[in-house]
Structures are given as structure tokens and as C-alpha cells.
Amino acid sequence: MLYLNLVNEKINSNKENINQINNSQNNTNTNNTETAVFGGGCFWCLEAVFKNVIGVINVESGYAGGFTQNPTYKQVCSGSTNHAEVVKIEFAPSVISYEVLLNIFFEVHDPTKLNRQGNDIGTQYRLIILYNSDIQKEIAQKVINKLTDEKIYPSPIVTEIKPLGNFFKAEDYHQAYFENNQNQPYCQFVLSTKIAKFKKNFSKYLKKNIL
């Protein structure tokens, strides 16, 4: 009887551990969430990557860093609003840290290119981290300092670190762009490459059901 009790306790303990892992993978721990806002070129790219990260609850493409209220995509592309294309990431810090999100961010874009990523050129594609707390600011600067000290890139990092003002959600057709347009050439040749790079180098942070 004692042996059977011990076996049952072990089975129940294993079940609890499995449930904890599954809960983390499925982002069920959402009682305490934070937001991160990054700009790294086209927002379609970052949205597609971060939707695959464990602990990420929601990702929205939008505009920030400018001075026009409720800008349209056309206005932002003209450069007249000074907004950058960014993503707002809601995440559970008990599952994924802000610093890990930053490391993923730097992995999937080239932080040495001023106002461009690939063929996307303009101030709306500038590289920017928009912090909403002093802690986020300190972590962002620490990550950049580390990448600089380790000489990860051949040229200086040009990513800006700025306080987050207003975030304006982009038009509906920009949301979940990769999911809804996987046959588009931009998705096949640009977005897919970034997602593949993330999967290769940050595999332990992949959600179970990924794009």
C-alpha cells in the first residue's frame, strides 16, 4: 500500500509539472502582464516573429514616436508624421522576460542600418525601442552596450531608445499580415526568412503551435 501511494504521488507530481509547462506554452498566466514596443523596419516582420514567442499574449502593429494623432498608413509612409512602424507586444514576464524579447528583436533585424531594413527605406522604418518604465530603459541600454562590447556587428548600432508616448494601432489589414498573406512574395522571401532565423536561434522560446 505504501508503495502504491508513493507511485500515485509521483504520477500526480509529474502531471502537475506537465500542466505547468503547458500553461506556460499556452500563455495562461496572464494575471500580470507588461508591454514592449519595438520598431525594426516593417512591422509585419516583427509581428510575425513575436506571435511565435512563448509568453507573448498579443501583438499589434501600429505607429509611434511621431506627432500626428491617429495617423494613416499613407501619412506615415510619406514621412510627414515622424512616426515609426512598431509593434506593441503584450507579454507575461513570468514566462518571458523583457531582456529576452530584446535579444530576439536584435536577432531578427540589422540594428546598424539607419532608416532602412532591406529595401524598406524611410524614417518610418527607423530602429527604435520605446520604453514605458525606467527599468525597461535600463535593460535596453544594457543589451545594446553588451552587443557593442562584444562587437557582434561590424558597424555601430543606431537603434534609438526613447520614452513611449502614444501608440496608434494600424489599420486592420496590417494586423496578422503574415497569417493572412502567406502567399505574397514579401511574406515568402522576407518574413519567412526572419521567422526561420528566430526558430533556429531561439528554439526554446517557440510556442507549440507556430506559423
- The residue ranges of every structural domain in the chain are 31-205
Residues forming a β-bridge with 160: 128
Residue positions annotated with a catalytic role: 42
State the pLDDT confidence band at 23, using cuts at 50, 70 and 90.
Answer: very low
Note whether 143 and 99 are within 8 A (CB). yes
β-sheet bridge partners, residue 34: 91
Residue 61's SS3 state is: strand
Give residue 119's pLDDT: 92
Q: Does the pLDDT at position 18 exceed 60? A: no
pLDDT tens for each residue of 144-168: 999 999 999 999 999 999 999 999 9
CATH superfamily of 31-205: Peptide methionine sulphoxide reductase MsrA (3.30.1060.10)
Q: pTM of the entire structure?
A: 0.83
Residue pLDDT, tens place only, 32-89? 999 999 999 999 999 999 999 999 999 999 999 999 999 999 999 999 999 999 999 9
